[in-house]
């Protein structure tokens, strides 16, 4: 099973497809967004700083991110992992490569290609649960059975602070400016697979998941 680097705009389904791969294959997910959201709960200068940056939709500094990712990679050593939300720019991609090369670890980069308007709608309709199950009020099979309550663990569902149109627009622009250029970097190394991850009448989430599975078993 290949290690995975998920690349994609906000709302492209990085978290959703990570969950599906975890339940099928037992991957360990490293979501830098989730790790940072944990840091924002701390009543520290760093916690407050990260909270403000995330709410604005800008990127947290490379200095903070690189320390975070290095520690996390050490913790998952030996287990197949999914990087969800890292790297976000070329500097992060290059440092990651040097970290992984030192450890002799290979990976498959997968770009989840989704239209901007679809991403915007998904983000404004998303609800999350602390157990990780994703929900969306605009998609019939992603709505909770009881409004505002998780079907799995019964907790109250939460709307992320950055799940609003203004923050999405900023995050999307940051994605275009900083993250999209990484695609060429991975393409040059023959490490990139692009997947059309727009759900349509003829393409279900399971179909997208199947394409991802084929890419990692290649
Ligand atoms: P992060 O938490 O990574 O947010 P993001 O990249 O903006 O991505 P999202 O989590 O919003 O979307 P997703 O692709 O996971 O979509 P999901 O599967 O949930 O980062 C947040 C912030 O942290 C950043 O803005 C930045 O400040 C900071 N940060 C993080 N990493 C960083 C880094 N490396 N460097 C610097 N800063 C960093 O799906 C979305 C919704 O759509 C859900 O409701 C879901 O149910 C629904 N959905 C999913 N798939 C489908 C489908 N096929 N059809 C219909 N609905 C679907
Ligand atoms: Mg996510």
**Tell me, what's the pLDDT at 151?**
97
Residue 37 is a catalytic residue: no
Dihedral pair phi/psi, residue 20, rounded to 5°? -65, -40
CA of 15 to the centre of ligand 2 (A): 4
Tens place of pLDDT per residue across the chain (218 aa):
899 999 999 999 999 999 999 999 999 999 999 999 999 999 999 999 999 999 999 999 999 999 999 999 999 888 999 999 999 999 999 999 999 999 999 999 999 999 999 999 999 999 999 888 899 999 999 999 999 999 999 999 999 999 999 999 999 999 999 999 999 999 999 999 999 999 898 999 999 999 999 999 97
85 lines ligand 1 (CB under 6 A): yes
Dihedral pair phi/psi, residue 88, rounded to 5°? -115, -10
136 lines ligand 1 (CB under 6 A): yes
Segment 44-56, tens digit of pLDDT: 999 999 999 999 9
The answer to whether the beta carbons of residues 126 and 163 sit under 8 Å apart is yes
**Tell me, what's the pLDDT at 209?**
98
**Tell me, what's the pLDDT at 132?**
86
Q: Tell me the pairing of strands 192-196 and 4-8.
A: unpaired
**Tell me, what's the pLDDT at 73?**
94
Q: pTM to 2 decimals?
A: 0.96
**Tell me, what's the pLDDT at 8?**
98
Q: Which atom of ligand 1 is nearest to the CA of 61?
A: 36
Strand order in the sheet with 108-113: 28-31, 81-84, 4-8, 108-113, 192-196
In which region does residue 186 sit, left (phi positive, over 0), alpha (psi from -120 to 50) or beta (all else)? alpha
14 lines ligand 1 (CB under 6 A): yes
Residue 126 is a catalytic residue: yes
Neighbours of 76 (CB within 10 A): 15
- The mean pLDDT of the chain is 96
Residue 14 is a catalytic residue: yes
């Amino acid at each position: 099973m290949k290690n995975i680097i998920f690349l994609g705009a906000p709302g492209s389904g990085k978290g959703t497809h990570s969950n599906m791969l975890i339940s099928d294959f037992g991957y360990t997910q490293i979501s830098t967004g989730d790790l940072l959201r944990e840091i924002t709960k701390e009543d520290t200068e760093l916690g407050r700083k990260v909270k403000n940056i995330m709410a604005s939709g800008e990127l947290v500094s490379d200095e903070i991110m690189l320390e975070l990712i290095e520690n996390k990679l050490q913790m998952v050593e030996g287990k197949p992992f999914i990087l969800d939300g890292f790297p976000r720019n070329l500097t992060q991609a290059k440092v990651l490569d040097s970290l992984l090369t030192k450890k002799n670890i290979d990976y498959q980069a997968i770009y989840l290609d989704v239209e901007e308007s679809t991403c915007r709608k998904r983000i404004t309709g998303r609800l999350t649960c602390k157990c990780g199950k994703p929900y969306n009020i605009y998609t019939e099979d992603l709505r909770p059975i009881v409004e505002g309550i998780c079907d799995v663990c019964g907790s109250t569902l939460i709307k992320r602070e950055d799940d609003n149109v203004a923050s999405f627009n900023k995050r999307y622009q940051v994605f275009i400016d900083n993250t999209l250029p990484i695609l060429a970097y991975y393409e040059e190394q023959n490490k990139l697979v692009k997947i059309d991850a727009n759900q349509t009448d003829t393409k279900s989430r399971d179909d997208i998941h199947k394409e991802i599975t084929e890419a990692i078993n290649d």
